[in-house]
Amino acid sequence: MPEKNLLAGFSFFSDVDSGTLEAISKKGEILEFNAEDVIFHYEEPSTHFYGLLEGEVDLVLVFKDKVLKTDIEYEEAIQATMVDEEKEIIVDTVAPGQVFGWSSIVGSGKRTVTAECSEASRVISIPADELKAMFDKDSRDSITDKRLGKIDTKDGIWGCKTMWWCTEVCPKEIPITKCLGQIKRAIKQKDKGG
């Protein structure tokens, strides 16, 4: 079981009261990884949310592409075929005090990147369903309407054209377009008086 104030250094948890922070910390498990160990793979089910305590973790996006491959003999192509090729691109690097694995709490339930340790690392792994349940029970947020009002503008939430590109390339695994849709529905519900 992690120590009580282990999550206190994470800005993600900065607004969480000490009692809730302690409860979240008790749900977590400390995991240790070596350099090049993979914490999770692209498209795996996303069941845990992670915080990096020590080390460094790369978030890697895998692109699949078709490439023309040729066999050349005596400066002439004797055979040409299309082959699938995968290319890995590091889209973000997680530092201590940062969280990752966003798709587990706001996403579709599948990983959108691979998380690979670039050096020996310690992480806290928190079951996402339990974390979401704790956040859902927290009724302290009484300024939701004020926040929604700030983004209820043509240059705010309504400026999104819903082309999905942001979701496809987001290194933090946040399904941005889905989240924007939820916010738009909340604004319409607020405007109806509900």
Q: Say how far apart CA 104 and CA 2 lie, in whole Å.
A: 20
pLDDT band at 36 (very low <50, low <70, confident <90, very high): very high
> How confident is the model at residue 47, as a pLDDT?
94
Lowest-confidence pick of 112-116, 137-141, 148-152: 137-141
> What's the predicted TM-score (pTM) here?
0.67
Q: pLDDT higher for 194 or 129?
A: 129
92-116 mean pLDDT: 88
Q: pLDDT higher for 141 or 108?
A: 108
140-160 mean pLDDT: 67
Q: What is the CATH number of domain 1-59+91-140?
A: 2.60.120.10
> How confident is the model at residue 2, as a pLDDT?
45
What are the sequence ranges of the domains in the chain? 1-59+91-140, 142-194
88-96 mean pLDDT: 91
143-155 mean pLDDT: 68
63-91 mean pLDDT: 79
- What is the rounded average pLDDT for all residues in the chain? 81
What is the tens place of the pLDDT at every residue in 3-21? 547 888 888 888 777 888 8
> How confident is the model at residue 107, as a pLDDT?
67
What is the tens place of the pLDDT at every residue in 165-187? 676 667 666 777 777 787 888 88
Contact at 8 Å (CB) between 6 and 100? no
Bridge pairing between strands 29-33 and 48-73? unpaired
107-116 mean pLDDT: 85
H or E element, residue 192: none
DSSP tag of 177: H
